[in-house]
Amino acid sequence: MRKPLFHIAAVIGLIATALSVPVAAQGEPVRVAEFLAECPISHRLPDDPIVLPNLPGASHSHDFFGNRSTNARSNQQTLEGATGNCNPVSDISSYWVPTLYRDNTAIAPTGVTFYYLGEGVNNPAAIQPTPYGLKIVAGNAKATGDADSIARWSCLHAGHVNPSKNFVQCPAGTMLETYLDFPQCWDGRNLDSSDHKSHMSYPVAGGCPSSHPVPVPKLRMVLRYPVNGTTAGLRLSSGTGQTMHGDFFNVWPRAEMERRVRNCINVVIKCDHNGNHG
C-alpha cells in the first residue's frame, strides 16, 4: 500500500497535539528543529589541530571559539579536560575559522552562533547525535573563485544587499556576516579522514547517501563582524572571502548532545541554549 504522504508541518502539529507539548505563554512552540551554542572568540593562534596537527605556528592565523585550550596539539583527551566559553557552558567543543583582516589589522567577530539544525534531510526523526570526537571541515580554503566556494557573505539588518560568495559592502550601521553550513552525513566509521572531508558528505535530495548513511545535526556557523563600508583591504588569512572555511571538533558531552537531538531535532522544536523548549 502506498504510504500516505503528510505535509511535515501537519504531522508535527499532530504529534505536538497528541503529546501535549507545553506551549509557551506567547504562543506555539516554534516548529524548527534547532538547538544552539553561542561562543565568543576565545583566542587566536597560527595553529590548526586538524590540518597541521602537532605543528604549532605552522598555520595561517585562526580565531578559536569554544574550548579555551585548543592549539596545534589538541586531541579529544586534551579538549575534554578543558573548559569552554560557550553558552551553554556544557559545550566545550572547539570551533575555528581563518582570521579576518582589514589591511593588516585583525578583526574579531562580535557575534558567533553555532546552530544545530534538523533541516537538509527529510526525516529529522532519524538524525543521530553527532559522534563524540568527530572532526568536520566545511568550506573551501583553496577556493579560487565563486565556482568552487560555498561561502556566503551578507549584511545584518540590510537584507537588500544581495549575498555573495565574496565580501559585500554593508551600509553604515549594519554588520558584515557570514554563514557556513557543515556537511551532515557521516560515514558511520571514521571521526576524521586524511583529507579531513571524505568521512562526511552533504545530503542528496533530502537524504544521506549510502556511502555516508548516518544523518547528524547540520551545523550552521553564523559570524558577525563589526565591519561595514568598503570591502577594500578585507582579506582572510586564507585569502579572499570565498576561502571562508570552518573547523569543528565535537566535544559536547555525550549526554548533552543526545538530549538535544532527542528533544529538539528529532521532534522538530526550537530549543534554547540549555536545550529546552516550551
Partner 1 sequence: MTVLLLAGLLAACQQAPPPAAPPPPPAPSSTQNGYGATERAFVELAIATDEQALELLGPTGRAELRENRNTELAALRTLLDAPYVNHHAGHDMPGMPTDAEIQLASTDPDAREQFVRAHLTESLEVIRSARQAITHPPTAEVVALMERHRTAELAAG
Interaction site with partner 1 (CB under 8 A): 11, 14-15, 18-19, 46, 51-61, 72, 75, 125-126, 128-129, 131, 133, 135, 141-142, 144, 186, 188-194, 214, 235, 237-240, 243, 261-262, 266-267
Could you tell me which residues come within 8 angstroms of residue 27 by beta carbon, excluding any fewer than 6 positions away? none
Cα 85-157-97 angle, rounded to 5 deg: 35
Residue type, 175: M
Rounded distance between C-alpha atoms, residue 9 and residue 264, angstroms = 15
Cis peptide before 88 (omega within 30 of 0): yes
Spatial separation of the C-alpha atoms in residues 65 and 42, rounded to whole Å: 5
How many residues make up the chain in this entry? 278
Helix (H, G, I), strand (E, B) or coil at 126: helix
The grid coordinates listed for 59 are: 598555520
Separation between Cα atoms, residue 271 and residue 278, nearest integer Å: 8
Instruction: State residue 244 phi and psi, 5-degree precision.
Output: -55, 130
User: What is the distance between the alpha carbons of residues 161 and 154, in angstroms, rounded to a whole number?
Assistant: 7
Is the separation of the CB atoms in 249 and 74 below 8 Å?
A: yes
| CB of 249 closer than 8 Å to CB of 94 | yes
Rounded distance between C-alpha atoms, residue 251 and residue 225, angstroms: 26
Distance (Å, whole) CA 53 – CA 270: 36
